[in-house]
């Protein structure tokens, strides 16, 4: 733990405000900073200290690829404590929450208020037994339904021992509103904003020595620190590139390292074997990758376990419970974007074959399609309706737009129907301008079709 929080004493001192014994009112800690600055490390350290002090900890680490999965973050937060949390809920709230989180065989459209009040009641139930910490890393990637439900619940907490710890990507010194709508809902003195600053030279030296297992000349450290701006992730990539190349340069000479981070990441990934990179491509293309799901998609190759361990040892991925995550999301982005389009389509096609969730399967098939495909468009339309039935109009709107885009040109009526559906779902998710565009397009197309039919019928009668 000491290594994980090097150079963060001031941030941890401020973070301790949410961990004070005997807290009686909700309090929030918002960690802000640029990509790679160390927000996740600090966020994890705060949650670990909370557990050591007897707090219950609910955590979620959304990633960009999960932002379209309805209630994914809420499901993560209640992953271990669901049964305890809902035992005393009124039946309608429990049923709505179970339906939204796809627990059991409940069907039908959960009433949005029931889901929100059910989650609020769950937090109250958990906080009644011990102080509670709710941690969300990379809160900007929260799926919209989870963000609404979480914001609704938090804004209604009063005289409850709950701490909220979120990490938010933001430019240095940028003034950003508190996430989840806390501004204006909680007193300002209960919202503690902690900007995560660049590391100093000496702290950075210790971090690099710990990660690389070898020291660097002071002059090299100075140049790396200057080039990275004290960003530990970027500094580590720069140092790895220098060590990897074994460039023999003298003090005063410029380091011969790529200027762009994408080049550094691609160069690092290229050192891995082709089979390891294939595993990583599947991880980058999957919204919720697990060792089991990735192995199945790959056909359970005999060397899968060794490839996963090689990626872990290279500090490219980490495994937490049954989930695989990139040690930094930029690694996944670099690998996916750097792959050939046909490789990405094949990956999504194979992931679709093993996806247990119909919505996820439809999304993979959409990304695997090379052009309009009525079968995939129909699957997406069905998935959109199912997402809406589970109280997730945001996801439904996205799926409906994909369905519309993949509808063959000759399927005019199907395209019009899917355009109208996308418009309705967009309106339900408060995307008013987009809803208006889609509904006007659907109305115009329907009018045109009726005009063509009327003209055809008239011609038939007069012939």
DSSP 226-254: HHHTT-HHHHHHHHHHHHHHT----TTSP
Q: Running DSSP on this structure, what letter comes out for residue 300?
A: -
Residue 346 structure tokens: 């094949």
Predicted pLDDT of residue 255: 59
CB 141 within 8 A of CB 66: yes
* Cα Rg, the chain, nearest whole Å: 25
Tokens 């005009």 belong to residue = 451
CA–CA separation, 417 and 400 (whole Å): 10
- Rounded to two decimals, the pTM is 0.76
pLDDT confidence of residue 453? 47
What is the reported pLDDT for 117?
94
pLDDT in tens, the chain (463 residues): 333 577 788 888 888 878 877 777 899 999 999 988 999 999 999 999 999 988 999 999 998 877 778 888 999 999 888 888 888 899 999 988 888 888 866 566 678 889 999 999 999 999 988 899 999 999 999 998 899 999 999 999 988 889 999 999 988 777 778 888 888 788 888 898 899 999 999 999 999 998 888 888 877 888 888 878 899 998 998 888 888 776 555 555 555 556 567 788 888 899 999 999 999 999 999 988 999 999 999 999 999 999 999 999 999 999 988 889 998 888 888 899 889 999 999 999 999 999 988 888 999 999 999 999 999 999 999 999 988 887 788 889 989 999 999 999 999 999 999 999 999 999 988 888 999 999 999 998 877 655 434 433 443 444 4
Q: Please list, in sequence order, all residues whose beta carbon lies within 8 angstroms of the beta carbon of residue 393, skipping any fewer than 6 positions away.
A: 387, 425, 426, 428, 429
C-alpha span between 96 and 376 (Å, rounded): 29
Q: What pLDDT does 448 receive?
A: 60
- Is the Cβ–Cβ distance between 165 and 47 less than 8 Å? yes
Given CA atoms 383, 341, 67, 59 in this order, what sign does their dihedral have? positive
């Amino acid at each position: 733990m000491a290594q994980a929080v090097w150079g963060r004493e001031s941030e941890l001192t401020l973070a301790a405000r949410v961990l004070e014994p005997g807290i009686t009112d909700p309090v929030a800690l918002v960690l802000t900073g640029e990509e790679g600055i160390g927000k996740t490390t600090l966020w994890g350290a705060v949650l670990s200290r909370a557990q050591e002090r007897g707090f219950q900890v609910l955590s979620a680490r959304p990633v960009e690829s999960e932002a379209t999965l309805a209630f994914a973050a809420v499901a993560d937060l209640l992953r271990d404590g669901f049964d305890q949390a809902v035992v005393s809920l009124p039946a309608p709230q429990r049923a709505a929450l179970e339906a939204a989180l796809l627990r059991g065989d409940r069907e039908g459209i959960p009433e949005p208020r029931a889901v929100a009040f059910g989650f609020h009641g769950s937090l109250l139930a958990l906080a009644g037994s011990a102080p509670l910490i709710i941690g969300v890393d990379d809160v900007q990637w929260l799926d919209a339904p989870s963000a609404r439900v979480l914001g609704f619940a938090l804004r209604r907490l009063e005289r409850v021992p709950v701490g909220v710890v979120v990490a938010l990507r933001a430019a240095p010194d940028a003034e950003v509103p508190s996430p989840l709508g806390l501004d204006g809902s909680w007193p300002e003195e209960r919202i503690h904003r902690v900007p995560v600053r660049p590391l100093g030279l000496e702290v950075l030296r210790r971090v690099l020595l710990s990660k690389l297992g070898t020291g660097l000349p002071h002059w090299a450290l100075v140049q790396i620190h200057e080039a990275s701006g004290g960003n530990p992730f970027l500094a580590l990539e720069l140092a790895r590139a220098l060590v990897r190349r074994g460039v023999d340069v003298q003090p005063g000479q410029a380091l011969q390292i790529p200027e762009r981070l994408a080049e550094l990441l691609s160069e690092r990934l290229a050192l891995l074997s082709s089979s390891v990179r294939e595993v990583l491509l599947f991880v980058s293309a999957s919204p919720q990758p697990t060792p089991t799901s990735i192995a199945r998609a790959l056909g359970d190759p005999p060397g899968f376990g060794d490839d996963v361990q090689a990626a872990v040892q290279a500090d490219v991925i980490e495994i937490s419970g049954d989930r695989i995550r990139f040690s930094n999301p930029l690694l996944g982005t670099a690998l996916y974007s750097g792959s050939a389009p046909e490789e990405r389509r094949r990956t999504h096609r194979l992931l679709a074959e093993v996806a247990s969730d119909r919505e996820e399967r439809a999304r993979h098939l959409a990304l695997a399609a090379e052009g309009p495909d009525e079968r995939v468009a129909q699957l997406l339309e069905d998935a959109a309706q199912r997402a809406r039935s589970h109280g997730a109009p945001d996801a439904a709107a996205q799926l409906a737009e994909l369905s519309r885009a993949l509808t063959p040109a000759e399927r005019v009526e199907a395209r019009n129907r899917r355009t109208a559906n996308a418009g309705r779902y967009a309106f339900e998710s408060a995307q008013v301008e987009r809803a208006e565009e889609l509904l006007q397009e659907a109305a115009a197309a329907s009018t045109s079709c009726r005009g063509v039919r009327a003209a055809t019928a008239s011609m038939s009668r007069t012939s």
